Amino acid sequence: MDDPLAAWLYPVFLLRFVRTQPLWRGILLALLATVLVLEVAWQGFLPFPWVLSVPLVFVVGVIITLPYLIDRVVAPRLGGMLGTLVFPLAVTTVWYLFAVVSPWGTVYNPAYTQYGNLPLLQLLSVTGLWGIVFVMSWLASVVNWAWERSFAWPRVRGGAALYASLLALVLLFGGVRLALFPAQASTVRVAGITPSHAVIAAAEKPISELSQNDVQALISGKATQAVREIIRWASAPVFDDLLSRSEQEARAGAKIIIWPEQSGGLVLFLQEDEAALLARASALARTTGTYLDLGMVMVLQQPVQSHFFLDESILIDPTGSVVWRYEKAHPAPGEQEAPGDGNVPTVQTPYGRLATVVCYDADFPGTMRQAGQAGADIMLVPSNDWQAYDPYHTQLITFRAIENGYSLVRQTSNGLAMAVDYEGHVLAASDYFTTDPQVMVAYVPMQGVRTIYAMIGDLFAWLSVAGLVVLIGVAIARRRKAGEAGEAAPISAESSSGEPIEAVSTSGELTEPRPSSGEPPAASPT
Domain count, the chain: 3
> 85-116 as b/e, with b when 16 or more CB fall inside 10 Å?
bbbbbbbbbbbbebbeebebbbbbbbbbbbbe
- Please indicate, yes or no, if residue 142 is contained in any of the structural domains: yes
- Please indicate, yes or no, if residue 474 is contained in any of the structural domains: no
Q: Identify whether residues 90 and 13 lie together within a single domain.
A: yes
> In the listed set 146, 161, 180, which residue is the last one of a domain according to the structure?
180
Q: Identify whether residues 9 and 76 lie together within a single domain.
A: yes
CA atoms within 13 A on the CB side of 137: 28
CATH number at residue 370: 3.60.110.10
Domain assignment of residue 499, given as a range = 489-521
- Please indicate, yes or no, if residue 289 is contained in any of the structural domains: yes
Query: Angle CA(278)–CA(279)–CA(285) in degrees, nearest 5?
Result: 85
> In the listed set 394, 414, 447, which residue is the last one of a domain according to the structure?
447
> How far is it, in rounded angstroms, from Cα 197 to Cα 432?
8
> In the listed set 153, 180, 207, which residue is the last one of a domain according to the structure?
180
- Please indicate, yes or no, if residue 9 is contained in any of the structural domains: yes
Instruction: Tell me whether strands 307-316 and 346-349 are parallel, antiparallel or unpaired.
Output: unpaired
Q: Identify whether residues 247 and 385 lie together within a single domain.
A: yes
Order across the sheet with 346-349: list the strands.
346-349, 352-356, 378-384, 407-413, 416-420, 426-431
Q: Identify whether residues 237 and 378 lie together within a single domain.
A: yes
Q: Count Cβ atoms below 10 Å from residue 181 Cβ, excluding itself.
A: 11
Q: Identify whether residues 169 and 226 lie together within a single domain.
A: no
Q: Identify whether residues 295 and 350 lie together within a single domain.
A: yes
Contact assessment for residue 38 and residue 60, using Cβ atoms and an 8 Å cutoff:
yes
Q: Identify whether residues 109 and 235 lie together within a single domain.
A: no
Contact assessment for residue 121 and residue 114, using Cβ atoms and an 8 Å cutoff:
yes
Q: Provide the residue-wise pLDDT of the chain in tens; the chain has 526 residues.
A: 567 999 999 999 999 999 999 999 999 999 999 999 888 877 767 666 666 678 888 989 999 999 999 999 999 999 899 999 999 999 999 999 999 998 889 999 999 999 999 999 999 999 999 999 999 999 999 999 999 999 999 999 999 999 999 999 999 999 999 999 998 889 999 999 998 888 888 888 888 888 889 888 888 888 889 999 998 998 899 999 999 999 999 999 999 999 999 877 778 889 999 999 999 999 999 999 999 999 999 989 888 888 889 999 999 999 999 999 999 999 988 788 889 999 999 999 999 999 999 999 999 999 999 999 999 999 999 999 988 888 999 999 999 999 999 999 999 999 999 999 999 999 999 999 998 878 999 999 999 999 999 999 999 999 999 999 999 999 999 888 877 666 655 544 343 334 444 444 434 344 444 444 444 444 444 3
Q: Identify whether residues 500 and 383 lie together within a single domain.
A: no
Q: Which of 41, 116, 131 is nearest to 365 (CA)?
A: 131
DSSP 8-state symbol, 500:
B
Q: Identify whether residues 121 and 153 lie together within a single domain.
A: yes
Q: Identify whether residues 89 and 117 lie together within a single domain.
A: yes
Beta bridge partner(s), residue 291: 256
> How far is it, in rounded angstroms, from Cα 231 to Cα 227?
7
- Please indicate, yes or no, if residue 467 is contained in any of the structural domains: no
Q: Identify whether residues 227 and 367 lie together within a single domain.
A: yes
- Please indicate, yes or no, if residue 83 is contained in any of the structural domains: yes
Q: Identify whether residues 156 and 199 lie together within a single domain.
A: no
